[in-house]
Structure 1
Amino acid sequence: MKLNLLMRGLSGEYAVSRLAPGAAVPPWVSGPGLVNVTHAEDEISIVCLAERVPEDCESSAGWAAFQVSDLFDFDAPGVVLAAVRPVSEAGLGVFAISTFYRDYLLVRQTELAAAVKAWQVAGHQVEV
């Protein structure tokens, strides 16, 4: 089954930051936009608007965020693959996040036009 997705761009520049394992989640994480905090054994990763990340924090800024706006069943197969594959096959990097209802992709802002084109060629609708 071929999925045609609606990719909706979120406003702002995003950053992916790293904290040491066991660190407290800092207050600068909270605010508008997409926020994701992932606690893992060896790190804490934070995705949020880049403007909130302190300069002394290890991070990678310059990301554009897109929401897969279609709602699918929690375990619907192929949704993330349908969103990631065109970008990956175009030779672009992608950072994927999934929540209960939706999936989000981050692509480099410098590669935004190429990512949008790749999604459109794959049959997806893109709202930047």
Structure 2
Amino acid sequence: MTEQQLFSLSRYPETLAVVRLAPGAEIPTWAESSSVFSITATATETSLVCAGRSVPKKARHQKPFTAFCVDGTLALDQVGVLLALLGPLAEAEISAFTLSTFDTDWILVPTAKADRAEEAWRRSGHTVAPAVPV
């Protein structure tokens, strides 16, 4: 068994939404970027993560989410990152929506449970701090 990996995370202040669009949908003009803006398209759907403030009520979406980013650059072959971070959330019964970029991983949690997520990570030895604007 390998030693537990510990990570530093940054908490972003924006309220985010996860939006489901039809397959092949154009990105709507209301989809505003934020600390994280993601488009994932498959044969069966197009999903957006975007600022929650402008998402129309009629759009199929869930919000509000708070984003946490793993600080630094993670190697693409690094094993166990999400396991180390999602395990404490599962134990605290906090759902998560994850995204990965070339450099790092993002974890979105329901905003009402963001403080509890921080506590769960700290109890597990991880550190969490407010994001520093770039």
Shift of 1:74: 1.2
Q: Quote the sequence identity (%).
A: 32
Residue matched to 1:124: 126
Query: What are the superposed Cα offsets for residues 48-76 of structure 1, whole Å, 9 maximum, x if unpaired?
Result: 11013222211101110000113221110
Taking only aligned residues, the RMSD between alpha carbons, in angstroms, comes to: 1.3
2:38 touches 2:48 (CA, 8 Å); kept in 1? yes
1:14 aligns with 2:9: no
**1:71 alignment partner AA:** T
- In 1, Cα distance between equivalents of 2:20 and 2:46: 6
- Residue by residue over 1:19-67, the C-alpha shift from the partner in whole angstroms, topping out at 9 and shown as x without a partner, is 0112112233343321011001211110011013222211101110000
Q: 1:66 corresponds to which letter in structure 2?
A: F
**What secondary structure does 2:56 align onto?**
coil
Deviations 1:90-122 (A, max 9, x none): 111001100110100001111112111100011
Please list every run of 5 or more consecutive structure 1 residues that lacks an aligned counterpart in the other structure: none
Q: How does 1:6-85 map to 2 (within 5 A)?
A: 6-85=8-87
CA distance in 1, matches of 2:40, 2:27: 10
Q: Describe the SS at the equivalent of 2:30.
A: helix
**Match for 2:93 among 91, 94, 105?**
91
Question: How many residues are matched?
Answer: 128
